[in-house]
Chains A and B, each alone.
Chain A
Amino acid sequence: MTWKHFFTSSIGRKFIMGFTGIFLILFLIIHAGINSCIFLNDHGVTFNKMAHFMSHNWIMRFLEIGLFAGLIAHIIQGLSLTFQNKKARPVEYYFNQPSKNSKWYSRSMGILGTLLLLFLVMHLSHFYVDTKVALYSGDKPHDLFDEMKEVFSIKWVVILYLVGVVSLFWHLYHGFQSAFQTLGINHKRYTPLIKTIGTVYALIICILFALMPVAIHLQWIN
């Protein structure tokens, strides 16, 4: 068994999905945690300090490479698996009742993931690109909180962000417990616990993320 053989096998590819999935789950905790500093309602002072640390500290910059590597691996592998899975059934059923045996969100990870990818393109162009431009041009410190207020002042942007967060919820709701099954953990005592933690996690993360554009748009915080 060569490394290539392992990582191109069906289970090896599932392993990549599950492993990077858990990695991204951990990243979201940091992301939601730092962004929640806006709820301190101190005109974004704490939030901007945190953002400055994240974009200037070399350890964080280094970890960022890992984050993008994990994200890209998850996206490429996910898309390629989805296309391969489609090929495994060249002729579709004329009459199929999938709702009798599985949940819609578990069957829609490809579509939910694609929605998230589109969301990410928008999200990175809103916040990531400007931060980097400011970092390297370096005229004055970048006020990320100001940028948030500007972006979320537009109603349709807030709506698109909410669509993104809802997609994220269903993606996490299935993905969290699915990742553990993929890594080989299915246990009478632990699996129900994993499912509960996954549900609570997905709810907390998504409520926090949904509140950010809404709170800023409605000027609950400024």
Chain B
Amino acid sequence: MEHYNMNLTLKVWRQKNNQSKGKFETYPVNNISSEMSFLEMIDVLNEKLIEEGNEPIAFDHDCREGICGMCSMFINGQAHGPWQQNTTCQLHMRAFKDGDTIVVEPWRSAAFPVVKDLVVDRSSFDRIIQAGGYISVNTGNAVDANAIPIDKKDADDAFMAAACIGCGACVATCKNGSAMLFVGAKVSQLALLPQGAPEKESRVLNMIAQMDKEGFGNCTNTYACEAECPKGISVSNIARLNAEYLKAGLTTEEK
């Protein structure tokens, strides 16, 4: 694709901190290369803001390779912007045309309070993982990878679920602010494997209990999460989460 430069208008959510009321600020950004990533474009704008003595726009980012799950941003009405199965850091400016106005907002969810500008606090996800998203094993020598036979399909499904990077796009997209795609993926990746099987009951019960405490909404199966997930996590993981929860919740003898 041919390289081109563009001038854009950016409408960005600015919010000093969690307590203050935020508002949109409009910034012109000029001479942006179509080969830049979206975050590089914000870098350019931030350098300009710093030079002018203004506060730069705060945003989350880390690997900039689409694998860490740090970047967020609701761009022009879609989580991670207009491209499918793509994170904000891998969204390139060729997705936009000269003269476009781009609206950038933070994830909006009661469970993801805004820290500053476009940065939200996603530690509610960490607390869900702490509630059961692990397996308990004694440390020691690594076990031979092929010592336990695993059905190919289960291994594949677990791997697909494990592709979740925990970015929160599912929550940001869902009209109910539900975290069930995230929790579904995290429950599935362990429930499908023999290593995760011994704790699968307590895991799903505890993770859902924590999810409910955090103030996420309830899934109504619109499947918007799957459509916007940068890793293409399937909603079949939500069905598996439901099945695991019903099985555990209806059969456990523990009070």
Residues of A within 8 A of B (CB): 1-2, 6, 9-15, 81, 84-85, 87-98, 100-103, 106-107, 109, 174, 177-178, 181-186
A85-B227 CB under 8 A given contacts A94-B103, A184-B243: no
Verify if B254 is at the interface (C-beta below 8 Å from A): yes
Known: A9-B208, A9-B212, A88-B178. A14 touches B109 (CB 8 A): no
A127-B82 Cα distance, complex, nearest whole Å: 51
**Residues of B in contact with A (beta carbons under 8 Å apart):** 13, 24, 74, 76-78, 82, 103, 105, 108-111, 173, 175-178, 180, 205, 208-209, 211-212, 215-224, 227-228, 235-236, 238-246, 248-250, 252, 254-255
Whole-angstrom distance between the Cβ of A180 and the nearest chain B Cβ? 8
What CA separation (Å) do A217 and B244 show in the bound complex?
51
The residue in chain A whose Cβ has the minimal distance to the Cβ of B114 is A91
Please, how many angstroms separate the alpha-carbon atoms of A94 and B108 in the complex? 10
Asked if A89 and B110 make an inter-chain contact with CB atoms under 8 angstroms apart, the answer reads yes
CB atoms of B227 and A102 under 8 A apart: yes
Can you list 20 A-B pairs, Cβ within 8 angstroms, ordered by A? A1-B252, A6-B249, A9-B245, A12-B249, A87-B215, A89-B110, A89-B175, A94-B13, A97-B78, A98-B175, A102-B222, A102-B223, A106-B220, A106-B222, A107-B222, A109-B220, A174-B221, A184-B240, A185-B243, A186-B236
Chain B contacts for A2, CB-based, 8 A: 255
4 other A-B residue contacts (CB within 8 Å) besides A1-B205, A9-B249? A1-B254, A10-B219, A95-B76, A181-B221
The CA-CA distance from A108 to B249 in the complex, in Å, is 29
A1-B249, A95-B77, A183-B246 as given contacts; A84 in contact with B24, CB under 8 Å: no
Residues of A within 8 A of B176 (CB): 85, 88-89
Task: Give the shortest distance, in Å, between B176 (CB) and chain A (any CB).
Answer: 4
- Do B220 and A10 touch across chains, with their CB atoms under 8 A apart? no
State whether A92 touches B209 (Cβ < 8 A): no
Pick from A85, A92, A96, A184: contact of B220, CB below 8 A. Answer: A85
Measured in the bound complex, the distance between the Cα atoms of B222 and A184 in whole Å is: 15
Whether B74 and A93, one on each chain, are in contact in the complex, defined by CB atoms closer than 8 angstroms, is yes
Do B211 and A10 have beta carbons less than 8 Å apart? Answer: yes
Contact B215 A88 (CB under 8 A): yes
Partner of A101, one of B103, B217, B227, B243: B227
Task: Give the nearest-CB partner of A13 in chain B.
Answer: B218
Q: Report the separation of the CA atoms of residues A1 and B31 in the bound assembly, to the nearest whole angstrom.
A: 60
Q: Is B235 within 8 A of A181, CB to CB?
A: yes
Cβ-defined contact, A101 with B239, below 8 A: no
Question: Is A88 touching B109 in the complex (CB atoms < 8 A)?
Answer: yes
CB distance from A175 to the nearest CB of B (A): 9
Q: Which residues of A contact B220 (CB under 8 A)?
A: 81, 85, 106-107, 109, 178
When the two chains form their complex, are residues B221 and A81 in contact, meaning their CB atoms are under 8 A apart? no
Q: Which of B223, B246, B255 has the most CB of A within 10 A?
A: B246
Q: How far is the CB of B184 from chain A (nearest CB, A)?
A: 10
CA A109 to CA B219, docked complex, whole Å:
12
Which residues of the partner chain B approach A92 to less than 8 Å between Cβ atoms? 108
Would A100 and B78 count as touching, CB distance under 8 A? Answer: yes
List the B residue with the shortest CB-CB distance to A78. Answer: B220
Pairwise interchain contact B175-A107, C-beta atoms closer than 8 A:
yes
